[in-house]
Structure 1
Amino acid sequence: MARLSETLAQLAQAQRAAAARFAEQPEGEDSRLRPLESFGANPGALRALTYVPEATSDRRMPLVVVLHGCTQTATGYDRGAGWSDLADRHGFAVLYPEQQRANNGNLCFNWFDAEDIRRGGGEAQSIRSMIATMVRDVAIDPDRIYVTGLSAGGAMAGVMLATYPELFAAGAIIAGLPYGTATSMSQALDRMRGRGLPADPALAALVDGAAPAGGRVPRVSVWHGDADATVVPANADAIVAQWRGVHGLAYAPDEVEQVEGHAHRLWRDAQGRAAVEEYRIRGLGHGTPLATTGADGLGQPGPHMLEAGISSTLHSAAFFGLIERPSARAAATRAKPKPASPRPHPWSHSPGRSQVGDMINGALRAAGLLR
């Protein structure tokens, strides 16, 4: 069996090779983002960048916190997902926490490190300090703060929603993993493969124990490709179950529809608000779903920034309440689902894999972690 350290080195090499093309543009030359200096307690040793459009009114702006994936940077992710462009159009601010290579050689947020995922510690505390500084120094509406992220960044978005729920009205987790299910590298690799995920009640209990009781419960949007061979779709099922349990929602969704050709499920709370939703993107591997062409085109494809014909950025912004739902391209057919007893997720997923996924799986096989 190959040593785990050798496997991780292979994984890092594969990810860096995939990211090289996207990094051809010098980060410092075309970035719209600006550093946020002196933001207080930073036990996670993270960097912070921001985009704040010119104020168009006297009202406080919403804030979207965006967490990049492994091998990515804040500028690269912003270029791919288009959040600062959307902020210009609709008058909200963007905060990009950025991982440093000294903390993680692949630039992943450490979503599996117990110290970094607890309230008041590590990277979670660093991100909370950034948000507090933005609220203090910029005209930010503290009731309209949101968080989103991809992969390790998606998992860290879940960390923030669980550990600081009072800060966030809603979040969007893309190709991520459920909160609190891994506290070591070996556990992280197992969870990425869908192994060892807790049962639904235990998933909800992990969130319930992460912050003081009695605060608000953020609304959550979950995005995952059905051909993701890096973080398998079982993790999306677990994230949905986790937050459905925290909200006290039934197993069966209130709405099932096709949105721009992709499956969408929605659960509403007792007040009729959209509390938890899931998009399962047909044929998509591991990455952020983009729609970069046409009148509503946004972002730029690259490694882990994948053209899908549906924009997770636009739909997440709509879920947050920042923009109207992108309905021009959505031919949705709604159907009230029949009540059903709990069972495995009914949607099969394609065995197709991206080139990066094949490389990662090869590294995992070499370590004996994948058959």
Structure 2
Amino acid sequence: MRNIADTIRRLNVNRMPAGIIDAGGSTRLKALADFGRNPGELRAWHYIPANFKPGSPLVVVLHGCTQTAAGYDRGSGWSELADTHGFALLFPEQQRGNNANLCFNWFNPGDVGRGQGEVESIRQMLVAMSARYPIDRSPTYITGLSAGGAMAAAMLSTYPELFKAGAIIAGLPFGTASTIPEAFDRMRGHGLPESRALAEKVRKASGHAGSWPAISVWHGSADTTVDPVNMEAIIGQWWHLSDLDDAPTITSLTQKHQCRTWRDANGVACIEAHTIKGMAHGTPIKTGGIDGYGAAGPFMLDVGVSSTWHIADSWNLITKTERQKVEAIKPALEGTGLNDARGGDQAVGSVIENALRAAGLMR
């Protein structure tokens, strides 16, 4: 059970750390003014690279608690990547008047209901970007860290028709909390609903009848701020929205980075789950090499794996030439027994089954 001492500790952890610079400081981003109705009272920033071409896609990036749009961009390297590959970026930003710790209010029903609050403000930003720039809205993408990851899940749930795919980093499932105490409980992994009930929350959020966006989930195995069981709950929530196989394809790029992929009957990847062994709470980045972007800092963790690059690659935003260069230097798998094996050996299979049961995917 949650107690007051634990709640105070978590609030103190989420206060502004050294090294995070407000958007008023040096930034490559430009303000997006007068973007329309703004019931969530958010700010908006954007980045259009010099090599942007008409018909290029838009990526929405949501910062975590204590962070700003500019700070998260510097840490994650999204605008650096856009310079190379020519896509547009939108950075919604929280204001202290809404949340003292600059967290998106993913736990407030008034901010995550279709047509309301913060999710509606972000939708208005999308509309404004499409009106002002020749963006192809059909492949719009969204990603976010922590509270930003939870808000990305809210956007994918309340406006699924707007997105082709999303990436949730150290986040939480949609619709699991409606108060601050409940939010802290869910962050600890307590009280998460069964996955079928979680999926029903997504279905009811929009009345969507079409195909669902593909999602990827990223989480550190040593995250003590948002328990990794939330990753399994997100998988369960979205697994029940599609006709997917129980057993994922298991790949491991290195022993540090394991990826599970669930595909539909046509072989299309619908869910990817990336576990970074030993990583704490934050966005995994890599600051060197062809696929290295961003800069290390609070909650921007240089673990030798660039989630920014891998997410963009899964969305087909990376050029074939760059992908081939990265593939050519990728270290060989380190004897994990997980190389492209469906279900893997008995030990791996047991681990997967236990995770699926924890998420309510299997009984």
Q: Deviations over 1:231-251 (max 9, x none)?
A: 000000000111111122122
Tell me the distance in 1 between the aligned counterparts of 2:184 and 2:219.
Answer: 18
Q: 1:2 to 1:192 in 2, by over 3 A?
A: closer
Q: Which amino acid aligns with 1:237?
A: E
Partner of 2:253: 259
Q: 1:70 to 1:183 in 2, by over 3 A?
A: same
Q: Deviations over 1:293-352 (max 9, x none)?
A: 22332100111100111100001001111115553325352112169798431899xxxx
Partner of 1:14: 13
Matched, 1:225 2:235: no
Please, which moves more after superposition, 47-56 or 169-178? 47-56
Partner of 1:30: 26
Choose from 192, 196, 203 the match for 2:191.
196
Tell me the distance in 2 between the aligned counterparts of 1:295 and 1:258.
Answer: 19
Q: 1:201 to 1:9 in 2, by over 3 A?
A: closer
Q: Which amino acid aligns with 1:86?
A: L
Aligned pairs for 1:157-306 within 5 A: 157-253=152-248, 255-261=249-255, 262-306=257-301
Tell me the distance in 1 between the aligned counterparts of 2:240 and 2:13.
Answer: 37
The count of residues paired between Structure 1 and Structure 2 equals: 342
Matched, 1:109 2:110: no
Partner of 1:331: 332
Report if aligned partners of 2:287, 2:302 keep a CA contact under 8 Å in 1. yes
Tell me the distance in 2 between the aligned counterparts of 1:228 and 1:75.
Answer: 24
Choose from 344, 349, 354 the match for 1:344.
354
Tell me the distance in 1 between the aligned counterparts of 2:295 and 2:183.
Answer: 29
Q: Which amino acid aligns with 2:222?
A: A
Tell me the distance in 1 between the aligned counterparts of 2:270 and 2:149.
Answer: 18
Secondary structure of 2:14's partner?
Answer: helix
Report if aligned partners of 1:258, 1:331 keep a CA contact under 8 Å in 2. no
Partner of 2:361: none
Q: Which amino acid aligns with 2:27?
A: S
Matched, 1:45 2:46: no
Choose from 105, 120, 145 the match for 2:115.
120
Report if aligned partners of 2:20, 2:68 keep a CA contact under 8 Å in 1. no
Report if aligned partners of 1:267, 1:276 keep a CA contact under 8 Å in 2. yes
Give, in angstroms, the shift of residue 111 of structure 1. Answer: 0.3
Give, in angstroms, the shift of residue 263 of structure 1. Answer: 1.0
Tell me the distance in 2 between the aligned counterparts of 1:306 and 1:66.
Answer: 17
Q: 1:3 to 1:214 in 2, by over 3 A?
A: closer
Higher RCO, 1 vs 2 (CA within 8 Å, ≥6 residues apart): 1
Report if aligned partners of 1:260, 1:310 keep a CA contact under 8 Å in 2. no
Report if aligned partners of 2:150, 2:174 keep a CA contact under 8 Å in 1. yes
Give, in angstroms, the shift of residue 10 of structure 1. Answer: 5.1
Secondary structure of 1:64's partner?
Answer: strand
Tell me the distance in 2 between the aligned counterparts of 1:176 and 1:189.
Answer: 12
Q: 1:15 to 1:181 in 2, by over 3 A?
A: closer
Mark the runs of 5 or more structure 2 residues left unpaired by the alignment: 334-338, 359-363
TM normalised by structure 1 equals: 0.87
Secondary structure of 1:306's partner?
Answer: strand
Q: Which amino acid aligns with 1:317?
A: A
Report if aligned partners of 1:292, 1:298 keep a CA contact under 8 Å in 2. yes
Choose from 140, 145, 148 the match for 1:150.
145
Partner of 1:316: 311
Mark the runs of 5 or more structure 1 residues left unpaired by the alignment: 349-371
Percent sequence identity is: 51
Please, which moves more after superposition, 264-273 or 335-344? 335-344
Tell me the distance in 2 between the aligned counterparts of 1:330 and 1:28.
Answer: 40
Q: CA RMSD in A?
A: 2.4
Give, in angstroms, the shift of residue 191 of structure 1. Answer: 0.6
Give, in angstroms, the shift of residue 205 of structure 1. Answer: 0.8
Q: Which amino acid aligns with 1:331?
A: A
